[in-house]
Structure 1
């Protein structure tokens, strides 16, 4: 216990108190990595702190690989006296231009060179066009250092395993001094560790949100990961299913089939997310989504139900528009059936000891899927349960009762409402 009490606990990260300027800079970098500040903010302050420390940075640039469904990398550029001047996201669909293939970064990555230094003195012959531009702008020295994060995947658009590219330029006459290189040789790797610490958590969040939804990701990241840990919630359930997908899957080339399905699911998912719903599952050619009602007052409940009903109209309009485009292009189309229901469901971790699924279970989940299965029989692309309509109370809808119907596995018939 005496050892624990002797440690200085004033610093948030619990490391020893800095006793010189270098220590203060390194201590700040450790704190930045532990506290999860945004990468762009850490980079900006790092450049400013280096200049205050006496390291004459004229231009700093970093490119951070991303594990993200749309973005392949983030790039930031800082200039002395101007601050952050570039904040760029590179998409997976972006095609690198000639400038990338003529850059020192491309050369280093393809030749597995982690460090490259080029003094920009007038008498030196430079081997990369961008360095000639830097010299013409008055910069005198430049170097690049690359860090592989060891995440084990290849970023094909950058031809780099996931990691961080950093480059630094000075306008000091004669270039960086030995003292500046001494500071930078220790500070930049610490900066790389701080960025990895921040990026690791943000990458985990982005991936979880992509695969299990924003709200569910928040629950998992907050520690709700124990098997059997579930909450009971009252929610509107939306079950949407594309018609004809199975038959088309036997006649369309696999690549075209996946692309077609993505286009349809995008039209179905976007309205749900825009209205604050949570997509729990993409089930092949269908979607299960919820709009939580728990803790909402009567007026809010009605508004949520109205929003869910409005979402179904937007989903069908989106699919109708897509079908028109595909018919005009002589491509196969699919129609959409949707069911709306409301009820109490259990929401949480279900599965085996080593493989869990964060999902909803309960009678209402089974019922909404069986309601959707009656769309063809009742000649309506949208069916809502009587429970949903009663929850909507005085909301104005375009749905009419189509009688009581038996659901498979459900004891009592339930009233269903369909579109006019």
Structure 2
């Protein structure tokens, strides 16, 4: 029984705009194709991104199994066997459809086609979804019908792809804005910015634990090692800090040269925030080596959290005396040979600490007592 592409295009015009992600749209469209009796066993979309960490995203629906895990591909995709020379590559570069009878494959056909045939596929059709800036997403459809796709099937898929283009382009741009914001601002801060908190001077006063960490011997590293090696060490440091901070529900607000500024909002109280910050600091410090050395300063208190900057260039950050004190304390790590130091306010909320000393710190009228965490008894 023939199926009607009009049913699908009517559904798209009514419902596609409600899809929040490309995967949502893929799963909903797959279900609609099945309901319309279209001869589609497998529907897949792949789309290049302008993400600093990811090169492409792919989503899949199968009639017999439903949703498949979303595939996110990192940069360097072009050199991998699964992509290089694939139908996806062919369609992206030519911006023209590609069709292959899966029952007539030669040994040199791409591995993706052989895998689909091994799963019972009989015919494969890939076509471009064209955006206004000449970027191309790719829609692929596979059938298990013995006769493969018919000319009316292919014409119907072409019509659907043309109708889909503006909806997928909106999802692409939405994903891009979210991904870039999270990559450069952190997840929580990115959500605030995307929610409209973008006015210069829009700041809140919040309670938080503050963590500041700085690489040791960075100047010497740059003298002794070539730039690629020095950057690799810095990236390892940033990866360690990111993993440990986020594991304790903290957020890195910025990488400052060879240093990190992170906060742990005290939504459940200052003691909880300091405990999380200290666990993150201790986990990070366990990764120190002869090459990778860094100090960590902790403090807790009220901070100004929000947008500051010039008329044309803004920065989302935290400011205030509590942040300044954390930075001053961190600078003592090398002098005291303590990997983690904390203020009196933070130490007062930690079960086991030891006072390292009292120090005169820049900008403070009197000496500041500085503490280090004590090891748990055997």
Asked whether the two chains share a fold, i.e. TM above 0.5, the reply is: yes
- CA change 1:197–1:402 in 2 (3 A) is same
Contact persistence 2:356–2:372 (CA under 8 A): yes
Quote the offset at 1:182 in angstroms: 4.2
Structure 2: runs of 5 or more not aligned: none
- Separation in structure 2 between the aligned mates of residue 98 and residue 335 of structure 1, nearest angstrom: 38
Is residue 207–residue 270 contact of structure 2 (8 Å, CA) maintained in 1?
Answer: no
**Alpha carbons of 1:290 and 1:31: their partners in 2 closer, same or farther (altered >3 Å)?**
farther
Answering whether residue 259 of structure 2 is matched by residue 259 of structure 1, we say no
In 2: Cα distance, 1:248 partner to 1:137 partner: 53
Q: Indicate conservation of the 8 Å contact 1:245/1:334, yes or no.
A: no
1:402 aligns with 2:360: no
How has the CA–CA distance of structure 1 residues 50 and 198 changed in structure 2, closer, same or farther, with 3 Å as cutoff? same
State the match for 1:76 in structure 2.
59
Aligned to 1:37: 20
Q: Mark the structure with the bigger radius of gyration.
A: 1
Distance 1:72 1:195 in 2: 17
Give the direction of change, closer, same or farther, for the CA distance of 1:306–1:44 in structure 2 (3 Å limit): closer
Q: Does 1:373 align with 2:331?
A: yes
Within 2, Cα distance between the matches of 1:125 and 1:313? 57
Cα distance in 2, alignment partners of residues 116 and 225 from structure 1: 44
> CA RMSD of the aligned region, Å?
3.1
Once the two structures are superposed, what CA deviation does each residue of 1:99-143 show, in whole Å capped at 9, x if it has no partner?
644433333444x24223456687x99994565776787655432
Q: How many residues align?
A: 370
8 Å CA contact retained: 1:75, 1:89: yes
- TM-score (structure 1 length as normaliser): 0.77
**Aligned residue runs from structure 1 range 60-209, under 5 A:** 60-84=43-67, 87-92=70-75, 96-98=79-81, 100-110=83-93, 112-118=94-100, 128=109, 141-149=123-131, 163-172=136-145, 175-209=148-182
Bigger mean CA offset, 305-314 vs 78-87:
78-87
The 2-side partners of 1:388 and 1:273 are apart by 20
Aligned 8 A contact 2:44 2:59 in 1: yes
Write the distance in 2 (CA, Å) between the matches of 1:137 and 1:314.
45
Question: Separation in 1 of the partners of 2:150 and 2:186?
Answer: 50
C-alpha spacing 1:52/1:232, structure 2 compared with 1 (3 Å): same
- Structure 1 residues 313, 343: CA separation in 2 closer, same or farther (over 3 Å shift)? same
User: Secondary structure at the residue paired with 1:239?
Assistant: strand
Q: 1:396 to 1:140 in 2, by over 3 A?
A: closer
Aligned mates of 2:108, 2:221 — CA distance in 1: 55
Q: Is the 8 A contact 2:92 2:138 kept in 1?
A: no
- After TM superposition, the score normalised by the length of structure 2 is 0.85
Task: Give the equivalent residue in structure 2 for 1:28.
Answer: 11
SS in 2 for 1:238: strand
